[in-house]
Amino acid sequence: MIRIQEILDAVSANNPNADLELIQRAYVFAAAAHAGQTRLSGEQYLSHPLAVASALVEMGFDEATIAAGLLHDTIEDTKANLEGIEENFGENVADLVDGVTKISLIPFENKEEAQAENIRKMILAMSHDVRVLMVKLADRLHNMRTLNFQKVHKQRRIAQETMDIYAPLANRLGLHSLKRDLEDLSLQYLWPDVFNQISHWLETHKVVEKQIIDKVVSLITDLLASNGIHGDVYGRIKHLYSIYKKMQSQSLALDEMHDIMAFRVLVDDIKDCYAVLGLVHSQWRPVHGRFKDYISMPKSNGYRSLHTTVIGPEGERIEIQIRTEDMHKQAEHGVAAHWVYKENGRIHSRDLEQFSWLREIFERQSEEADSREFMRSLKMDLFKDEVYIYTPAGDIKELPEGAMPLDFAYLIHTQVGQHCAGAKVNGRLVPLHTELKNGDCVEIITDSARNPNRDWLKLVKTAKARNRIQHYLRTEERTHAIALGREMLEKEGRKVSLNVGKALKDGHLALVAHDLNYENVDELVAAVGYAGVTPRRVLNRLYAVLHPEEVAATVAPPSVAKDGGQRKSEGVTVSGVNDVLMRFAKCCNPVPGDAIVGYISRGMGISVHRNDCPNVANMETERILSVHWSNGEQKPYEAGIFIIAKNEHGVLAAVTQILAKNKVNITELTLETRVDGRANLHFTVEVGNSTQLYELIEAIRVLPFILEVVRDSEGVD
Ligand code: MN
């Protein structure tokens, strides 16, 4: 059993100003709390917290963490409580003990791969302070080291959990040697035969392997030196579990395993990485298919390095990793850990800060006079931008911060989202705009009669939910368009005695669809509904199909809109619809920048009105479409300006001068003098957008003899 004095000595060796008294008191408290308890090994229970604390000292942690290590099992296993710990040791230590206790309460029943990943994240999310994880990992390490005293089935369960949850956590935190220890210990209990076989083999081959390693290191070092490349070369035997994994992935027996040595070359820059690769490959024959360029194609966690395997000087396969110092620091110190590099490969500076904090613990711990202050100022919030939500069955789902019940519903299943009628959070009904919080348990109430509507788009945060809702709305819009198109065709058809229903059934309309370049008859009918093609045009074609012999004589070609005053509506698009006949309504003459709506006018395509056009109020709402200005090239739009001025000499000249100065074309101009000594001027001008139009109006307004200037169509009498 480790003695407290050894711990105190090690702490003060690390940091002469350390608060030894705090550790001493924690020890006394833990000793009293665990008094009389023994471990399965027969040792005093206190030996366990002492071992945990000692591991934390070795990793260079501060007094609060070490005290927490001593106290970590007191809440769960003894009569002590959190209040007591806070009273005696302060909030700082109490938080750490509380965090460790909470982690041990996370349910681990479900061992599926994905679930293990979630639990890992859950643990990270719950650890507002990374020191909590360190205590937990030190705890697990000692439990693994003393696992032989447990019953066999418990050994397996704990070893599996360590393999699934804690070794990857250590890996993420960049604690590679801890990760290797946990993996090897787990392997020992999960597959004892394999473990014994490999360790025995390694034992008998140790001396030979060591000689090979030294030889290869010096060969590569010479190779670098003779080519003027500055770099360092390292070699080692891989750890047991990674050898086991290699045996598995390559289906090899131990004696066939020749790449159990790993070499690493660290150089100054990327150029040198490739130079070293070339040198190594020219010296030793590379093994085909084993070269990996993670520099030009980094792993998703951001890991960068060159990997290659060559046939070495002894005919051994040797694996070599080549990277820069920076890449190595990232890989070893865990900056490559998941949360630093998001999927898109972007580094979040906040995340990097978090990680540099972790690194600094190890690098600066001994230099810090007041390490407690230092630690306190560097608390971290891992995964701040994600929340973890429980299903009623206890599964954990991950959502972005700000997610709402519909996001959760769509995450469970598209159908659950589609028919979501309400949600309960922690057993209580909540509105759909409720933001979910970490640890919420969410239950979705479904109703097969409920379907998505446009408002739902405001109630989701995730791309998945948004896409599904939009897809539903588009499908629904199309269904409407088909129904509308069919209604329009039948109605117009009756006027000219064409039975559209029959033509549909007989396949004649399908021929028309083909004639008019629509993929199928539904596309054609939908196009009528969207006003992409006029019913008249379709019916003309249908008539031609039904009466091919008469077509030339009796049927007029598709009619073109006769109203030449209407402009073609280039620059406006209707969402989801291409190639639609659109016109700007004459009543309000919209220009880019105006808020606009589209109106499906029967047989006349879509007319585009300004939102505030008085005619919009009288329209059938089913026929109103949302349309928007597309960002294509700017073409001039016609707009009207109406001016009332004093009828004085020079009025017209002054106004046209302003228009000319702004390089605005006048396409139409009328001037009428009134009996009251005033004049009405009406200009039709070409402008790029509404902003330009209103700027012109403002410029005209300030002219001396102007009484009133408005955009035309605003109803000045
Ligand atoms: Mn423990």
Instruction: Give the model confidence (pLDDT) of 209-245 as tens digits.
Output: 888 889 999 999 999 999 999 999 999 888 899 888 8
- To the query of whether residue 77 is one of the catalytic residues in this protein, the response is yes
Q: Are residues 55 and 162 in the same domain?
A: yes
Query: Separation of 100 CA from ligand 1 center, angstroms?
Result: 9
Higher model confidence: residue 464 or residue 69?
Answer: 69
Taking 70 as the threshold, does the pLDDT of residue 632 lie above it?
no
CA–CA separation, 430 and 669 (whole Å): 61
Per-residue confidence band for 560, with pLDDT thresholds at 50, 70 and 90: very low
C-beta separation of 97 from 85 below 8 A: yes
Q: Residue 145 corresponds to which tokens in the numbers above?
A: 């080291």
Statement to judge: residues 302 and 264 lie in one domain: yes
What are 443-452's pLDDT values in tens digits? 999 998 889 9
Kindly give the distance from the C-alpha atom of residue 122 to the centroid of ligand 1, in angstroms, as a whole number.
19
**C-alpha gyration radius of the chain:** 38
Same domain membership, residue 588 and residue 705: no
Q: Is residue 717 part of a domain?
A: no
Residue after which a domain boundary falls, among 302, 333, 364: 333
**Residue 183 maps to a domain:** no
Helices (H), 392-520: 405-412, 414-418, 463-495, 500-506, 508-515
Q: Is residue 483 part of a domain?
A: yes
Active site residue 386: no
- Residue 184 within a domain: no
- Looking only at the bridges linking them, the beta strands covering 317-324 and 261-267 are parallel
Q: How many DSSP H helices and E strands does the chain contain? A: 27, 20
Calculate how far, in angstroms, residue 76's C-alpha sits from the geometric centre of ligand 1.
9
- Same domain? For 68 and 216 the reply is no
Given 301, 333, 365, which residue is the final one in a domain?
333
The amino acid sitting at 257 is M
Note the pLDDT tens digit of each residue in 112-151. 555 666 566 556 655 566 778 888 899 999 999 999 998 8
Is residue 140 domain-shared with residue 212, that is, in the same domain?
no
Rounded to the nearest whole angstrom, what is the distance from the C-alpha of residue 110 to the centroid of ligand 1?
22
Do 317 and 210 lie in a common domain? yes
pLDDT at 228: 93
* Nearest 10 degrees: Cα torsion 118, 128, 102, 117: 10
Residue 137 β-bridge partners: none
Q: What pLDDT shows up at residue 239? A: 87
CATH of the domain at 254: 3.30.460.10
User: Does 651 lie in the same domain as 524?
Assistant: no
The Cα 679–Cα 700 span in angstroms is 15
Q: Is residue 92 part of a domain?
A: yes
Distance from residue 14's CA to the centre of ligand 1 (Å): 24
Show the DSSP H helices in 534-676 as ranges: 535-546, 551-554, 651-661
301 plus 311 within the same structural domain = yes
Taking 3-state DSSP, the helix, strand and coil percentages for the chain, each rounded to the nearest 5, stand at 50, 15, 35
Average pLDDT of span 574-578: 48
Of 6, 9, 21, 76, the active-site residue reads 76
Report the distance separating Cα 651 and Cα 665, nearest Å.
Answer: 18
Tally of structural domains, the chain = 6
DSSP bridge pairs for 644:
680, 708
Could you tell me whether strands 624-625 and 596-601 are parallel, antiparallel, or unpaired per DSSP bridges?
antiparallel
Q: Decide if 318 contacts 261 (C-beta within 8 A).
A: yes
- Among 430-434, 666-670, 684-688, top mean pLDDT goes to 430-434
Q: What's the pTM?
A: 0.46
% of the chain with per-residue pLDDT over 70: 80
Give the Å distance between the CA of 365 and the centre of ligand 1. 25
Asked, for residue 544, whether it belongs to a domain, the answer is yes
Q: Give the single-character DSSP code of 632.
A: S
Tokens 């031609």 correspond to what residue? 544
pLDDT, average across residues 601-606? 62
In a domain, 262, yes or no: yes
Pair of tokens at residue 215:
């030889």
DSSP line for 497-535: T--HHHHHHHTHHHHHHHHTT-SSHHHHHHHHHTTSS-H
Strand blocks (E) in 197-285? 231-237, 261-267
544 and 439 housed in the same domain: no
Residue showing tokens 């998001």: 342
The CATH number linked to 423 is: 3.10.20.30
What is the Cα–Cα distance from 60 to 445, expressed in whole angstroms? 51
Residue 364 vs residues 77, 334, 340, 361: alpha-carbon distances, Å: 34, 17, 21, 6
- In this structure, the answer to whether residues 365 and 427 fall within a common structural domain is yes
- The domain of 268 spans 201-333
Asked whether the CA dihedral 588, 591, 593, 597 is positive or negative, the reply is positive
449 and 479 together in one domain = no
Co-location of 19 and 167 in the same domain: yes
Q: Which of 426, 454, 470 is where one domain is finished? A: 470
Task: Kindly state whether residue 685 falls inside one of the protein's structural domains.
Answer: yes
